[in-house]
């Protein structure tokens, strides 16, 4: 399996990460893929549509979401990971903040850990350090239950950069090499509408850290609230935002609508070859 970040080998290829939420309460597809067979069908469809990596999540991180036990999360995610790995040749990322889930995911062949808490929970650094898995470190102010109550920053880009530097140091001190890391400013995680658009406008500043960047904007309220669109009607806004992020250096986009996103990336690639 090739490295997801493909930093050296495929610098021009943006990776499309397809979202597979196996939670009953995720914000835009809640409950749709909780059944094993429908989840596998969805994976097959995403692969046909050109997905590069599937991101499986067993805990909802939407504002106000309730906690899930370790055992429940493992039951939701690990059998699916095993089934995908035995049937398909595709990279899989596991969206989790729990060390026990990370350990199981590593054992059963996951290619990436996508942690919205950036390995800050107990035991996570240690588990990940004992493997070669890639890790997405996401920025979040607060915790999902309360993060949207009153987010405040003096200098949002500076604060996110400081957070990234601190987490990168922490990883390196624990034996996790920088080359295994991907950074994500965490759209919608402890950020107002204005904060989100400022982060999108200044996304290129995160390139200063020299690591691949991930942008997860698909169907989020920063699209819906600006356009006054219901969650089922946010495709055009999501594609526009993804394109803005990619034009500023995003190397992975986390999306619900794989086919449309792959098409958009193909257009960008066709244009890119004529740029100096
Ligand atoms: C799990 N999850 C929900 N939104 C996300 C985002 O924007 N980035 C990452 N890395 N994970 C997310």
The verdict on whether 254 is a catalytic residue reads yes
Query: Is 35 a residue whose pLDDT tops 90?
Result: no
The residue behind tokens 């059944």 is 35
> What number is the average pLDDT over the span 181-191?
97
Distance 172 CA to ligand 1 centre (A): 23
* pLDDT, position 62: 81
**191 close to 157: Cβ distance less than 8 angstroms:** no
Q: In this predicted model, what pLDDT tens digit does every residue of 188-211 receive, in sequence order?
A: 999 999 999 999 999 999 999 999
Ligand 1 contact, 94 CB (< 6 A): no
Atom of ligand 1 nearest to the CA of 95: 1
* pLDDT, position 8: 37
Q: What is the mean pLDDT of the chain?
A: 92
Ligand 1 contact, 57 CB (< 6 A): yes
* pLDDT, position 87: 97
Distance 276 CA to ligand 1 centre (A): 33
Those residues with Cβ within 8 angstroms of residue 234's Cβ, 6 or more apart along the chain or in another chain: 218, 219, 220, 223, 224, 227
Counting Cβ atoms within 10 Å, is residue 194 exposed (0-12), middle (13-18) or buried (19+)? exposed
Count other Cβ atoms within 10 Å, centred on residue 275: 5
The closest residue, in CA terms, to atom 8 on ligand 1 is 216
Query: Is 7 a residue whose pLDDT tops 50?
Result: no
Calculate what percentage of the chain has a pLDDT beyond 90: 82
The verdict on whether 48 is a catalytic residue reads no
Q: In this predicted model, what pLDDT tens digit does every residue of 111-122 receive, in sequence order?
A: 999 999 999 999
Ligand 1 contact, 237 CB (< 6 A): no
pTM of the model: 0.94
Handedness of CA 207, 212, 217, 218 (dihedral sign): positive
Instruction: Give the confidence band of 6 by pLDDT, cuts at 50, 70, 90.
Output: low
Q: In this predicted model, what pLDDT tens digit does every residue of 210-263 receive, in sequence order?
A: 999 999 999 999 999 999 999 999 999 999 999 999 999 999 999 999 999 999
Count other Cβ atoms within 10 Å, centred on residue 145: 12
Ligand 1 contact, 187 CB (< 6 A): yes
The closest residue, in CA terms, to atom 11 on ligand 1 is 116
Query: Is 85 a residue whose pLDDT tops 60?
Result: yes
**107 close to 130: Cβ distance less than 8 angstroms:** no
Ligand 1 contact, 203 CB (< 6 A): no
Distance 275 CA to ligand 1 centre (A): 31
Ligand 1 contact, 218 CB (< 6 A): no
Per DSSP, helices labelled H in the chain are: 36-48, 70-87, 99-107, 124-129, 156-173, 193-201, 221-227, 235-247, 258-272
Ligand 1 contact, 136 CB (< 6 A): yes
The residue behind tokens 């106000």 is 64
Q: In this predicted model, what pLDDT tens digit does every residue of 39-84 receive, in sequence order?
A: 999 999 999 999 999 999 999 888 777 889 999 999 999 999 999 9
* pLDDT, position 9: 44
Distance 116 CA to ligand 1 centre (A): 6
């Amino acid at each position: 399996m090739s490295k997801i970040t493909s930093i050296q080998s495929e610098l021009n290829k943006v990776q499309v990460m397809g979202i597979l939420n196996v939670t009953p309460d995720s914000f835009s597809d809640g409950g749709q893929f909780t059944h094993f067979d429908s989840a596998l069908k969805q994976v097959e469809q995403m692969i046909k549509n050109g997905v590069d990596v599937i991101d499986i999540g067993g805990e909802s991180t939407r504002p106000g979401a309730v906690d899930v036990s370790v055992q429940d999360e493992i039951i939701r995610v690990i059998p699916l990971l095993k089934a995908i790995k035995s049937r398909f040749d595709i990279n899989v990322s596991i969206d989790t903040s729990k060390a026990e889930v990370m350990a199981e995911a590593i054992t059963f062949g996951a290619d990436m850990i996508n942690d919205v808490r950036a390995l800050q929970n107990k035991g996570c650094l240690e588990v990940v350090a004992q493997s070669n898995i890639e890790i997405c470190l996401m920025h979040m102010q607060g915790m999902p239950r309360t993060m949207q109550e009153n987010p405040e920053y003096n200098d949002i880009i500076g604060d996110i950069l400081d957070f990234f530097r601190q987490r990168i140091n922490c990883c390196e001190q624990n034996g996790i090499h920088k080359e295994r890391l991907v950074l994500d400013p965490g759209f919608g995680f402890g950020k107002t509408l204005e904060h989100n658009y400022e982060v999108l406008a200044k996304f290129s500043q995160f390139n200063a850290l020299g690591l691949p960047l991930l942008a997860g904007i698909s169907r989020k309220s920063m699209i819906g609230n600006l356009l006054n669109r219901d969650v089922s009607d946010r495709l055009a806004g999501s594609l526009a935002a993804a394109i803005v992020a990619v034009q500023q250096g995003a190397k992975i986009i986390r999306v619900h609508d794989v086919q449309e996103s792959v098409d958009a990336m193909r257009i960008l690639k066709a244009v890119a070859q004529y740029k100096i």
